[in-house]
Structure formats: C-alpha cells, structure tokens
C-alpha cells in the first residue's frame, strides 16, 4: 500500500467543498473516465474584486486525485485570480504534505483544471481538445500539456514525465517522443537559466523501461505479416499484399525529416525482427536514399530463395509505418 501523509489522508477521507456549484462563473475540467482520473473545478469569482468567493470540485479517480482536488479548493478560496494563477502543481502536492511519487499526476490534474477555469474566465478559452499532437495515444496526452508540465515542474527524466502525466505509462511506444521533448524543453530551461546544465536530460541517457507486461498476441497486424497461412512454414507462405500507397497528405517533404524517418524505419525493422529470427534470419538498415531503403538480410535469409518474399513483407511493413511508398533494396 502507498504510504501517505496524514494531510492527504484527511483530504481524501473528508474532502472539502465537493459537489456542484450552480453559481459558478469559472469552470475548468481536466481528464476523462478513460484516462482514469477526471477533475471538474467550479469557482465563483466576484467580478468587481476578482476574488474567488467560493470553490467546489467534483472528481473521479484515486484517493490522491480526490485529495488534490479538495486541496486546491481550500487553497484558492479568498485568493485573487492573480494569486490563484500563481499556484503550481508542486504547491498542491506540498499543501498535502507530499504525494506518492507515482501519483504526482494527481496534483497536475488539479492544477490543469484550475488553469483552465481561470483562463476560461479571462476569455482565453483554449481549444485544448484541438491539441493536434497527442503524444501518448494510449492515454491521449497532448504535447502541449506535457511540455507545460516539464517546464513548470522542472522534470529531468522520462520516468518523472510518466508519473506526472501518465504519458508512456501503457505501451511506452512513445518513449522516444517523450525523450526528445524532454531534452528540448530542458535545453530551453538551461538557456533561460532555470536549470543547471548538468541536470538537463540528454536523449538516450536512460534506457526505455520494460513496461510491456502483456504480450501483444498474434492478433495485431504487425505480428500477422508473416503468418498469413496456418500450417505452412513461415518462409513458404504467400507474400502479403503491399498496402496500397497512401497519398502522403501530411508527410513533410523528404530531406528535412530524415532523422524521424530513420527512427520510423528502425522501429519497423525492430518490430519485424522477431518474425525473421523465428526462422533463423535477421535484417538491418544500411542506408536511406530518398525513397529507397537499403537493407541487409543475414542469417538464414541470406541466400534464401524466398528472400524476395521476405523483402516484400518488409516493404509492406515500412509503407504501413511511414505512410508513403518506399522501395526496399537488398544489400549483400
């Protein structure tokens, strides 16, 4: 069981100011049932003095989420809007005598709800749902929110990003993206003199956590590429049809995105590797030239008469991953 402070325990067992506030003129909500936690914060602000007269909350989630929401209402009542907008997630955690490290996101959701309520009242309604870059698809956590959380809480490692935002807590396939974003924001913080350079996160300095407890099973398309027929050895099965090349609508023009392209291709090859290794083969990326990808097949694949079948499978996978037609050429 998580060890919690008495204050947090108290705010969970006897939450203050819960329920709806019909006269609220500032409302902010954050999170969904699918995300696992949700907070709705309602404030009644006196328009003449800008002072928060009353605050109520509703919360769905774990004990820390309920305590954080309760805490935030106590913290803002009687404060002016300016004072209230100075409250950070860390202040909420501190008010409660600290949150368990893996529950830090609870203070973040309470903070985000408060931020939205104040922004809404000041007419700066954000269309957060239009945040186009859901960085973590499992929990649909937006890039903006993660960036903000890293900046305000001075996060310096990907583990923290996960405990503060849940991003990467499920399949961790967005780990690379979190890493890149964290490194960029940390670099900005260093530039602004807010973070000692020695503490800034560097891409690759932390190994990706093995979070994927659950096997993917063989129902996922990636695993099916080489397993179309039953009872036929993998290397004798019919080649899967390459996916029809999708028009590259959003894909940026080649060249500028070579780095991410390389990453994508390596990711795709990484996913294919177990299937090749099952038959004693292997493959590796040699180089990328425009729309041509050079690949080296090794092990049993090397010299196998059905190598072309394997290659078309690799090609189909890459096209699926990249979203535009690519040519795959074997290199000896």
Partner 1 sequence: MSVQPARLVYLDNNATTRADPRVVEAMLPYFSEYYGNPSSKYALGAHAGMAVKRAREQLQRLLGVEHAHELMFTSGGTESTNAAILAALEASPRRREIITSAVEHPAVLALCGWLEKTKGIRVHLIPVDRQGRLDIMAYRAALSDRVAAVSIMWANNETGVINPVVDLAELAKEHGALFHTDAVQAVGKLPIDLRSTAIDMLSLSGHKLHAPKGIGALYIRNGVRFKPQIKGGHQERGRRAGTENVPGIVGLGMAAELAAAHMADEDIRVRALRDRLEREIVERVEHCVAVGARAERLPNTSNIAFSFIESESIVMLLDRAGVAVSMGSACSTGSFEPSHVLVAMKVADDAVRGGVRFSLSRDTTDDDVDRALAVIPGVIARLREISPFCAEEGASMTLNRAHV
Q: How many residues bind partner 1 (CB under 8 A)?
A: 60
Q: Interaction with partner 1 in 122-141: which residues (CB under 8 A)?
A: 128-129, 131, 138-141
Q: Rule CB under 8 A: say whether 60 interacts with partner 1.
A: yes
Q: Rule CB under 8 A: say whether 148 interacts with partner 1.
A: no
Q: Interaction with partner 1 in 83-112: which residues (CB under 8 A)?
A: 102, 112
Q: Rule CB under 8 A: say whether 29 interacts with partner 1.
A: yes
With CB under 8 A as the contact rule, the residue among 96, 145, 185, 314 that binds partner 1 is: 145
Candidates 74-82, 181-189, 275-283, 312-320: pick the segment binding partner 1 (CB under 8 A): 275-283
Q: Which of 141, 68, 137 is nearest to 109 (CA)?
A: 68
Q: Rule CB under 8 A: say whether 164 interacts with partner 1.
A: no
Q: Helix or strand or coil: residue 232?
A: coil
Q: Rule CB under 8 A: say whether 222 interacts with partner 1.
A: no
Q: Rule CB under 8 A: say whether 213 interacts with partner 1.
A: yes
Q: Rule CB under 8 A: say whether 43 interacts with partner 1.
A: no
Smaller CB separation from partner 1, 288 or 304: 304
Q: Rule CB under 8 A: say whether 193 interacts with partner 1.
A: no
Q: Which of 164, 118, 115, 158 is nearest to 139 (CA)?
A: 164
β-pair type (327-330, 292-299): parallel
Helical residues (DSSP H) of 77-174, grouped into ranges = 81-85, 89-95, 105-121, 143-153, 158-165
> CB–CB of 293/326 below 8 Å?
yes
Q: How far is the CB of 69 from partner 1 (least distance, A)?
A: 8
284 in the Ramachandran plot: left (φ > 0), alpha (ψ -120 to 50) or beta? beta
Q: Rule CB under 8 A: say whether 142 interacts with partner 1.
A: yes
Strand partners, 289: 292
Give the C-alpha separation, 249 to 151, whole Å.
Answer: 32
Q: Rule CB under 8 A: say whether 149 interacts with partner 1.
A: no
Q: How far is the CB of 66 from partner 1 (least distance, A)?
A: 6
Q: Rule CB under 8 A: say whether 277 interacts with partner 1.
A: yes
Residues near 99 by beta carbon (within 8 Å), at least 6 away in sequence: 8, 64, 68, 93, 106, 107
Smaller CB separation from partner 1, 31 or 313: 31
Helical residues (DSSP H) of the chain, grouped into ranges = 6-13, 63-76, 81-85, 89-95, 105-121, 143-153, 158-165, 175-191, 221-224, 258-278, 307-322
- Which residue ranges make up the site for partner 1 (CB under 8 A)? 9, 12-13, 15, 18-20, 29-40, 57-63, 65-66, 102, 112, 128-129, 131, 138-142, 145, 166, 169-170, 210, 212-219, 223, 227, 230-231, 273-275, 277-278
């Amino acid at each position: 069981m998580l060890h919690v402070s008495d204050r947090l325990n108290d705010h969970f067992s006897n939450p203050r100011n819960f329920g709806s506030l019909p006269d609220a003129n500032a409302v902010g909500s954050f999170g969904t049932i699918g995300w696992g936690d949700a907070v709705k914060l309602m404030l009644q602000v006196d328009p003449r003095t800008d002072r928060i007269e009353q605050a109520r909350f509703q919360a769905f989630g774990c004990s820390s989420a309920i305590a954080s929401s309760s805490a935030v209402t106590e913290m803002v009542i009687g404060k002016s809007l300016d004072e209230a907008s100075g409250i950070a997630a860390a202040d909420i955690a501190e008010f409660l005598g600290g949150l368990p490290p893996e529950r830090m996101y609870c203070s973040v959701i309470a903070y985000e709800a408060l931020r939205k309520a104040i922004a809404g009242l000041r007419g700066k309604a954000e269309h957060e749902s239009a945040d186009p870059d859901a960085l973590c698809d499992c929990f649909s956590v937006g890039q903006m929110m993660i960036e903000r959380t890293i900046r305000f809480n001075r996060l310096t490692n990907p583990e923290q990003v996960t405990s503060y935002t849940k991003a990467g807590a499920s399949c961790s396939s967005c780990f690379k993206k979190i890493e890149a974003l964290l490194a960029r924001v940390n670099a900005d913080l260093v530039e602004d003199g807010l973070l000692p350079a020695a503490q800034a996160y560097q891409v690759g300095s932390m190994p990706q956590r093995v979070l994927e407890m659950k096997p993917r099973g063989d129902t996922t398309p990636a695993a099916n590429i080489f397993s179309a027929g039953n009872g036929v050895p993998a290397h004798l099965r019919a080649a899967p049809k390459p996916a029809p090349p999708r028009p590259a609508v959003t894909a940026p023009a080649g060249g500028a995105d070579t780095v991410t392209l390389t990453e994508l291709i390596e990711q795709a090859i990484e996913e294919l590797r177990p299937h090749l290794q099952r038959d004693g083969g292997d493959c590796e990326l040699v180089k990328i030239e425009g729309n041509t990808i050079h690949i080296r097949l090794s092990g049993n694949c090397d010299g196998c008469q059905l190598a072309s079948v394997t290659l078309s499978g690799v090609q189909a996978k890459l096209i699926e991953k990249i979203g535009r037609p690519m040519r795959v050429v074997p290199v000896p």
